[in-house]
Amino acid sequence: MEGVDPYKLMPRDVLCVGLNPAFQTTLHFEMFNKGGVNRSFKKTHSIGGKGQNFVMACEQYGQHDRVTLLQFVGGMTGTFITQVLEEKNIHQINVRTRKATRTCTTVLDQMAGDMTELIEPTGLIRRQEREELETYAETLIANGIGGLRAIALCGTYPTGISGSTYARIARAKPANLVLLLDAYKDVTEVLSTGQVDIFKINHEELVALVQEVERLSRQTSDTLRVEVLRERSRSPSDAGDRYATMSIPELAGRLLRRYNIRLLGVTNGPESAYLFYSPTHYVIFDLPSLPDLVRTLRAQRRPIPDYSDTASMSSSLPSPVMLDEIGDDIMRLRLSRASTGGSFGLGGRGESDLMNGSGAISPASSAHSERLQRSCNRKDAEAEVLLNPLGAGDTASAVFLMEYIDTRDAVDAFRRGIAAASASCLVTEQTAHFDTVIMDAVYERIRVHEVSPGDIDTDGDMRSASAGISAVEHCAIPMSSRDTLA
């Protein structure tokens, strides 16, 4: 830490620890053939990693000057990441590593509307590098007394880092700070500190975590020998299936009875999200359909943001590469839709859109344009909207935490977080980018319901589909029952 500007070690309102950044490459394919040779028509670059997505979402939300990012970076890919963040005026503390920052590749299949993510292994973080980052974290927390309001621990660990790093940072947290954890692998040590105020996780991660926590507990508890024998009699897949079939409230209850977590937020893709205060007191958030929302906005002639040209706008990133003429046609189609209120990946994909109106593709088009037409004629109406869920959970965490530290209204803050996450799914070129117009439209359509202890029977199930569940008008749950954080 010698030679570091002391002012640089003064954190902003939120300290985000993002240990596993990524240099993100996105390859676009007209049609991706698994097991075959595939030629993309476009390549773009951006930055990734849960902590990095967190701060980028803050920037999108107009909060770039309120967050500090602590991260490992190495090689040219690490340099790209730091330069992009500098251009965004995001305060960052970087620990340089001998190994280069990993590259992750997203494969977008235009015909199927599918996304595949390829993740490189991370380079080994040396002990000196780990200790340097942990010392930076403790110094930032100590220097932040009176100004720092929250800490966000985001994502998995690179090779050479374990859960003890998050636990060490959590133990350094003063009681008046809010600590958000957005991770699920090797988090039992940090959860055991009792310092986690907000735990944000998705359904699949919750299943894996509860299964792992209970497996470890059974291995160390003499009082559960019968259950251990039963578990050993099952195959690993049987045990996994048992947890996978549990409801989100049941899984959350098992976790909350084991760890002191103030707020547990669980997302589940396009399905309902949950915010838990206890195993028997929680709020359900029913999300609107994004394809339906987009069609509604288009019918109302409300502008839908076009992000087709925003990727790689940073001067620090390589320029987008268009590889053949079909890519040119697809991009012309997107730009023509943008001029008429459409958006990248959002327009209707029917023949009339292709052959009329914009003139992007004429009846005299060549064979490759005919292939494009076929790829755009989706059988499934839901496929009219190409969605990119990468970074959505990180976006939810960022907006949730920024709103929460300002308002202390957990329900409304979480509602805004998942609205921003939904909006970010419409941006296929980048992660953790969203438009607040779309976010507000989603927010308005989220249905919020509260489940209180009296609505749960002795088995932990709701007494009926409607018993005790009421819409929460403007998220107005009494503060005394909703929030005990300082």
pLDDT digits (tens, 9 = 90+) for 266-287: 999 999 999 999 999 999 999 9
pLDDT digits (tens, 9 = 90+) for 364-381: 334 343 443 444 343 344
Burial class of residue 127, CB neighbours in 10 A (0-12, 13-18, 19+) = exposed
Maximum average pLDDT range among 185-189, 224-228, 313-317? 185-189
pLDDT digits (tens, 9 = 90+) for 407-440: 999 999 999 999 999 999 998 778 899 999 999 9
CB 338 within 8 A of CB 344: yes
Number of H helices, E strands in the chain: 17, 16
Question: Among 218-222, 293-297, 333-337, 443-447, whose mean pLDDT is lowest?
Answer: 333-337
Provide mean pLDDT across the span 116-129. Answer: 94
Arithmetic mean of pLDDT over the chain = 80
CB 255 within 8 A of CB 209: yes
Predicted local distance difference test score (pLDDT) of residue 462: 59
Please check the confidence at residue 216 and state whether its pLDDT lies above 60.
yes
Report the percentage of the chain scoring pLDDT > 90.
60
Please check the confidence at residue 486 and state whether its pLDDT lies above 70.
no
DSSP string covering 201-230: EEHHHHHHHHHHHHHHHHHH-GGGHHHHHH
Tell me the Cα Rg of the chain.
23
Q: Go through the domains of the chain in sequence order and give each one's CATH number.
A: 13-33+46-204+249-291+391-482 (3.40.1190.20), 308-342+348-384 (no CATH)
Report the percentage of the chain scoring pLDDT > 70.
71
Q: What are phi and psi of 350, to 5 degrees?
A: -75, 170
- Residue 226 pLDDT level (bands cut at 50, 70, 90): low
Please check the confidence at residue 118 and state whether its pLDDT lies above 90.
yes
